[in-house]
Structure 1
C-alpha cells in the first residue's frame, strides 16, 4: 500500500490531528482558547455536557441570558464568530441537552428562538446565514415538541406566534414539518379563534392551514378581489389539486381567467403561471385534447421551450416528428430573432439554427456575449453560421461602445476558415 505524501500528512484533517494525541491537542486548544472567548466558552460547554444535563443546562442559561440582555453592536469582523457561536449554542440544546433532558432542551429552545428579536438589531445586516440559524432552531423545536400532547403543543406554538407573528411567519413551516397533523389542526383552530391584524399573522394562518391540509382555511385568508388575481388563484388551485378536489381547483382558476379588454373585447394574454395551473387542471379532468390545444397556443405566444417539449412529448407515432418540425419552424421565423434562436439552440436543433442565422443575417439583433457562446457551439459543424453570428455580435458590441468585446468577436470570427 502506497505511503501518504508529506504534504498529505501535513493537511489539517481529523485523521492527521488524531495522530498528535489527545494530550498535545488539548494543549493546543487551551493556547488558542486563551485568545478566543467564543472557543473557550464552547469548550467549557462541551466539558459541562460530558458531566451531564445538570452541568450543561446552567452553562446554556448563562449564554442565553447574555443574548437576552446584550445590546452592543456586532461588527462585521465579529460577525462570523458570533454566528458560529450562536449556531453552536443551538446545536448544544438540540443535540447534547436534548439527548440527556428533552424537557430542559425544549424549554431552552423556546428561549433561544425568542432571542432573535434582541439579536437581530445587533447585526447591521442580518443575512441569510443569521436567518438560517433560527430556521434550524425552529425545526429543532418542532422535533422536541413532537412527542408531546398535540393540544399542549398547539397552545404553545400559537401563543409564541401571537407574540411575534412576523418571526413565526418565517419559522412556522419548519416547526410544523416535524409535528403530527393533529397538532397542526389544533393550532389552526386556536389561531382562527384569535382575530389578529398584526403584520405576519395572516401568513402564520396560511402556514398552519397548509400543515393541517385545510385548503378552505387557506382560501379564507384572501379577500374576494385577491382571489381574482392569477397569483392567488394559482396558489389555491395547486392546493385543491393536491387534495384531489379538482372542481374546486377549476373554480379558483376561473375566477382569475383572462377577461375581455378594450372596445374589441379581446381576451388578454393569460398569466404564464395561471396557464400552467390551468393545464394541470385540464389534465386532472381528463381533457387531454384541450390541454394540448392550450400548450400549442401558449408556445406560439411565448416561445417557451417547456410548452413545446410537453406538447411534442404527448404525441404518438409520426405526429411527434411533424409537431417538432412545426415548433422549430415557428421559432425560426419568429419576429424576435434572439428569442427564436435561443429555442433552437436549447432544443438543440443546430441545423435549423444555422439556416436561421444565414437566412436572417440582416435582421439578426442579438446580445454580443450570447452570440459568442452560441458561435462556439456552431463553429465545428456550421462554421458559416458561427462566422455570421460573431460578425453580427461584433457590430452590435461596436454600436454599444463595447470596443474590446467587439474586437474580440471580430478576431474570433477571423479564426474560422470558410
Structure 2
C-alpha cells in the first residue's frame, strides 16, 4: 500500500495560494475558532484599529461566560487567550501602544473569571496571564500613560486579585509609574488600611454562607483580608521604590525574627550596601541548627559575613551548612575560596561526608551533581541498595542515566527500585515506565560480569512474575515492548 503524502510546510506551499485559501475558508465555515483566528490575522496585518476592536469584542464575550471549562474546553480557551494576547502584544502594540495597554488590562481582568471556571492544576492557563503581566511593563512604557491614572487602575486591580494574576503588577509597572505614581499608590494603600471595614448586612452574610459565625466572623475575615492586601501592596511599592525601610516596616518586630523573613530583609539591605544591619537582622533570627537548614537564611548570612570582610566566618558557615544539607553550591563556593591544592583534600572530605550521610536519597542528589564522585556513587548504590527509594523517580532516574555507561550494575539497581515501588504500590499509571525500565535492565545485564549476591536479570524477572503475575495491565505493557 503506498505511503500517504507527508503533511508539512513544503507540501502545503506546493498547493498554491488559491487552493490554500479555499481550504482555509472551508475550515473557517465549519469551525468558529478557526474563523476568529483568520479574521484576527487579517485585521492585524491591515488595520490595528480593526484588530483591537475584534480583540475587545472577544474578551468581552469570554468575560460574560459562566460555564465550567472541562478538559477539552480548557484547551480551546488556552488557544483563544494565546491568540488574543499575541495580537495585543504584537501588531496592535507596535502600531498603537495606548490601545494595546488598554486591551492588556482588559485581558488581565479576565483572570479571575477564567481561572475560577476551570481546574488549572497544571498552571498552563495561569502561565498565559503571567506572561501578560510580564508584557505590561514594556507596553506601558511605550504608551506613556498618565502616572496617577495608572496608579489608580493598578490599585483597583491589586485589591481584586483573587487568583494572584496581579501579584507582580507593581514591580512590572514601577518604571511607567515613576516617583509620582508610586507615591500615589502608596497613599492609596495607606488610606485603605485606615478605612473601617463595614459590617455586612445579615442577608449578605447568610448568602455567602458564614453560618453561625454571623456578621462578626464575616467582618473579621474581610478585615484580615484587607490588612493582608495593604501589607503586600505597601511592600511591593517599597521594593519598586527602592525603599528598604518601607519594606521592613510592613513586618512586625516578632515577624522580623522569623528566619525566612529576616533573610528577605537582609537581601534587600545587602543590595543597599547596609551589611551591618543585614547581619543584625539575621543574628536576631538565628534558626534552630538542629533542624533542616532554612536555606534562604543560610545564604543571606554567608553573604552578609562576606560583605563585611569576615571571610573565615563565611567559610566556616558554608562548610557547616554543607555538612548538614549537602548543598553543592555552598561546597563550590567554599572550594573556590581555598588556596591552591587545599581544595582537593577538602573536596574528598566533602565526598566522604556525602557517602556517610543518613539519607541515601539526599546523598545521591549531591553526588550525582559532582562528576568526580561517580565511581563512589555507584559503590554507594550497590552497598546501600536496600535504602533506595523507588518513589523518588527523579533521583533514581537520574542515577540510572548517569551510571549506566560505566556502572551498569548500580544503574540496574536504581531502575529496579522504581519497578519494585510501582508494582508493590500498584501504580498503574507508571506501568509503561516500569516496563521500559525493565527493558533497559535487560540491555544493561549484557554488560554485567559479576552479580555477587544480587539476583541476575533472569532471576529478578522470575521473582516479578511470581509476585506480580496477576497485574495484567503491566504485563500487557511488557508485551507491547516485546518482553514476556
TM-score (norm 2): 0.68
Corresponding position of 2:373: 349
Unaligned runs of 5+ in 2: 194-224, 427-433, 452-484
Aligned-pair CA distance for 1:119: 2.9
Corresponding position of 1:415: 448
Q: 1:33 to 1:356 in 2, by over 3 A?
A: closer
Aligned-pair CA distance for 1:140: 3.4
Q: 1:178 to 1:133 in 2, by over 3 A?
A: farther
Corresponding position of 1:172: 169
Structure 1 residue matching 2:15: 3-state secondary structure: coil
1:321 pairs with 334, 344, 350, which one? 344
Per-residue CA deviation, residues 380-411 of structure 1 (Å, 9 max, x unaligned), is 8789xx589959x88xx69x969999x99899
Corresponding position of 1:228: 257
Distance across 2 between alignment mates of 1:109 and 1:254: 45
Q: 1:291 to 1:167 in 2, by over 3 A?
A: closer
Distance across 1 between alignment mates of 2:405 and 2:40: 63
In the alignment, is residue 78 of structure 1 matched against residue 73 of structure 2?
yes
Distance across 1 between alignment mates of 2:106 and 2:21: 32
In the alignment, is residue 290 of structure 1 matched against residue 290 of structure 2?
no
1:101 pairs with 96, 101, 106, which one? 96
Corresponding position of 1:12: 8
Q: 1:183 to 1:95 in 2, by over 3 A?
A: farther
Contact persistence 2:97–2:140 (CA under 8 A): no
Moved more, 284-293 or 18-27: 18-27
Aligned-pair CA distance for 1:293: 1.3
1:305 pairs with 311, 314, 328, which one? 328
Distance across 1 between alignment mates of 2:50 and 2:100: 13
Aligned-pair CA distance for 1:72: 2.8
Aligned-pair CA distance for 1:336: 5.3
Q: 1:191 to 1:126 in 2, by over 3 A?
A: farther
Corresponding position of 1:262: none
Corresponding position of 2:156: 159
In the TM superposition, 1:201-212 aligns within 5 A as 201-212=230-241
Aligned-pair CA distance for 1:277: 1.2
In the alignment, is residue 29 of structure 1 matched against residue 50 of structure 2?
no
Contact persistence 2:133–2:166 (CA under 8 A): no
In the alignment, is residue 182 of structure 1 matched against residue 179 of structure 2?
yes
Aligned-pair CA distance for 1:84: 1.2
Distance across 2 between alignment mates of 1:371 and 1:65: 49
Moved more, 28-37 or 196-205: 196-205
TM-score (norm 1): 0.77
In the alignment, is residue 216 of structure 1 matched against residue 245 of structure 2?
yes
Distance across 1 between alignment mates of 2:306 and 2:275: 10
In the alignment, is residue 144 of structure 1 matched against residue 106 of structure 2?
no
Moved more, 243-252 or 339-348: 339-348
In the TM superposition, 1:397-408 aligns within 5 A as none
Aligned-pair CA distance for 1:168: 5.2
* RMSD of Structure 2 on Structure 1 (CA): 4.3
Aligned-pair CA distance for 1:352: 5.0
Contact persistence 1:106–1:141 (CA under 8 A): yes
In the alignment, is residue 253 of structure 1 matched against residue 278 of structure 2?
no
Distance across 2 between alignment mates of 1:46 and 1:341: 51
Aligned-pair CA distance for 1:273: 2.8
- How many pairs align? 398
1:45 pairs with 36, 40, 46, which one? 40
Corresponding position of 2:388: 367
Contact persistence 2:137–2:173 (CA under 8 A): yes
Aligned-pair CA distance for 1:312: 2.3
Unaligned runs of 5+ in 1: 1-5, 260-265
Q: 1:79 to 1:324 in 2, by over 3 A?
A: closer
Distance across 1 between alignment mates of 2:411 and 2:125: 50
Contact persistence 1:45–1:56 (CA under 8 A): yes
Aligned-pair CA distance for 1:56: 3.3
Contact persistence 2:51–2:92 (CA under 8 A): yes
Structure 2 residue matching 1:123: 3-state secondary structure: coil
Structure 1 residue matching 2:71: 3-state secondary structure: coil
Contact persistence 1:312–1:320 (CA under 8 A): yes
Distance across 2 between alignment mates of 1:239 and 1:155: 27
Aligned-pair CA distance for 1:339: 5.2
